[in-house]
Chains A and B, each alone.
Chain A
C-alpha cells in the first residue's frame, strides 16, 4: 500500500517505460530536426538540410516501433485508468511527432530550392525565430509529459498564439515582397509554405500538450485554445478593397 508508483507485475512497468523512452527519443530527434532545418535554411547549409531529410526515416521507424509496442501492451496487459491513458497518449504523441518530423523534412527540401534564389529580406531569421519558439514549446511539452505536469502543458498550449502571430506577420511580409516585384514570387511561395508548415508544427505541439493534460487529469482541456487565424483573412480583404 505504501508504494503506488510500481506495478506488482514489474514487467508491466518495464513495458510502459520502454515505450515512453522511445517517445522521448523520437522527441529528441524531432527537436533536432526543427532546429537543424531552420539553421540550414538561414545559413544555406545544404549538407545540414540533406542530413535532416535523411534523418526523418529514423523518426518514422520509431513511430512504427511505438505503435507495435503499444499494441502488444494492450493485448498482453489490458491497461486501464492511467496505464490506459499512457498507452493512448503515447500513440497519439508519436503520431504528432511524426508529422512534425515530416514538416521539418519538407523545410529542408525547400531549403535546397531556395539556396539558388535571392534572399527575401531577413525573412529566414524570422523563420528561425519562429522555429526556435516551436522547438522550445515541444521541449516543454515533452518535459510536461515526463513530469505529468498539466500546468506546464497548458502554458505550452497558450504559447501557440505567439507562433500564429509570427506566421501572420510573415504572411504580410511575403505578400508585400510579391507585390513589389513578381520575380520574388517563387521564393516567397516556398518561404510561405515553410512558415505555414512551422505554424502547423505548433499546432501539433499543442496537440501533444492536450494529450499531456488528458494523461495527467483524465480529461481533455475544456477551454478552446487561443487562435489568431483571423487577421490574415482580414488583411487580404483590406488589400482587395484597396485595389478597387
Chain B
C-alpha cells in the first residue's frame, strides 16, 4: 500500500503545469519567440537561462499575460495552464495573474505598510471574510516569504523602509498571498547581496513544495543551485530543455555548452 501511495505522489509531483505548443511572440515586426514547445512541471523549479535579448523574459511574461499591456505585442500558439488555454477570450487576466504570481527583478513594494503590501491581493480578490482571516493570511504569507520574524513587530511600518533583500522577500510574500499555483520570478536576486540571495534561494527551494516556480536568471550558478529543470533560450529559440543536472554537466546542444561555459554571450 505504502508503495502505491508513494507512486502516486511521484506521479503528482511530475505533473505538467504549463504546456506551451508552437508559441510565437512578436513585438511589431520583431519575432521575439519562435516555435517554443515546452512542458513546465508542477512542484518543480524551472530555470530559464540565455543571453540578454534571447526571449526568456518575454516567454516568462507571456505565461501570465503580462505582455497584454504592450500594444504591439502578439502571442500565437497555445499556452495551457492545467490544460486550459490562458489566451482564451473567456479568461480574465486579473484572475489568471492571481493564479500565476510574479516577482520582478527590482523589489517593488507598494508605498504602503508591510501589512497592506501583503493584504492587498487577498483584499481585491475577496479571499478573506473578516479582519481575523486577513491577519491570518498576512502572517502565513510573510512566514512563507521567510520574513515574518524580521517584520512581525513592525507590520505598520512602510514596506519601502526595508532592506533590499527584505523588500524582495516581502514581494514574494505578497505574490504568495493570493494562493497562486505558479510563481514567475524575473531575475529576483539580481539586485540583492549574496546573503539576501542565499535567503531568497532557500525560500525558492521551500516554495517548490507547493508551487511550480519558474525563474529567469543571468547567474548560471544560481540556475544550477535552485532549479531541477533548465531551459536555454537563444535568439528566440528554446535550444535545450532538460534536467538541470544534465544541462550543467553534459549539455547536448553545442550552443548550450558554449553559453554556460562562457564562450558566447
Contacts and interface: CB of A to CB of B under 8 A. Distances in A.
Interface of A: 1, 3-9, 12, 78-85, 218-219
A219 B252 CA distance: 12
B260 A81 contact: yes
Contact of B249 (A7, A78, A84): A84
Contacts of B260: 80-81
Given A5-B263, A8-B262, A8-B265, A218 B254 contact: no
Given A3-B263, A12-B262, A218-B249, 14 more contacts: A4-B257, A4-B258, A5-B263, A6-B263, A8-B262, A8-B263, A80-B220, A80-B248, A80-B249, A81-B249, A81-B250, A81-B261, A84-B249, A219-B250
Nearest to B251: A81
Contacts of A1: 255, 258, 264
B265 to A, nearest CB: 6
Interface residues of B, number: 17
Classify the secondary structure of A's interface with B. loop
21 contacts: A1-B258, A3-B263, A4-B254, A4-B258, A4-B263, A5-B263, A6-B263, A7-B262, A8-B262, A8-B263, A79-B261, A80-B248, A81-B249, A81-B250, A81-B257, A82-B257, A84-B249, A85-B249, A218-B249, A218-B250, A219-B250
A17 to B, nearest CB: 14
Interface string B75-99: 0000000000000000000000000
A82 B250 CA distance: 7
Contacts of A6: 263
A232 B125 CA distance: 81
Interface of B: 220-221, 224, 248-251, 254-255, 257-258, 260-265
Contacts of A82: 257, 261
B260 to A, nearest CB: 6
Contacts of A78: 221
A45 to B, nearest CB: 48
A194 to B, nearest CB: 40
Contacts of A219: 250
A44 B257 CA distance: 53
Contacts of A218: 249-250
A233 B220 CA distance: 53
Interface centre among B249, B251, B262, by most A CB within 10 Å? B262
Among A6, A7, A78, A80, max chain B CB count under 10 A is at A80
Contacts of B248: 80-81
A51 B263 CA distance: 44
Contacts of A80: 220, 224, 248-249, 260-261
Interface centre among B221, B250, B261 (most CB of A within 10 A): B261
Nearest to B221: A78
Contacts of A81: 248-251, 257, 260-261
B237 to A, nearest CB: 12
A74 B250 CA distance: 17
A9 B254 CA distance: 18
Q: Which 9 A-B pairs have the closest CB atoms?
A: A218-B250, A4-B258, A80-B248, A7-B262, A83-B261, A1-B264, A81-B261, A81-B257, A8-B262
Contacts of B261: 7, 79-83
Contacts of A4: 254, 257-258, 263-264
A78 B221 CA distance: 8
Contacts of B263: 3-8
A80 B257 CA distance: 9
| B221, B250, B255 interface centre (most CB from chain A within 10 Å) | B250
Nearest to A4: B258
Contacts of B258: 1, 4
Most chain B C-beta atoms within 10 Å of own C-beta, residue among A4, A7, A79, A219: A4
A78 B223 CA distance: 13
A80 B251 CA distance: 10
A5 B261 CA distance: 10
A9 B257 contact: no
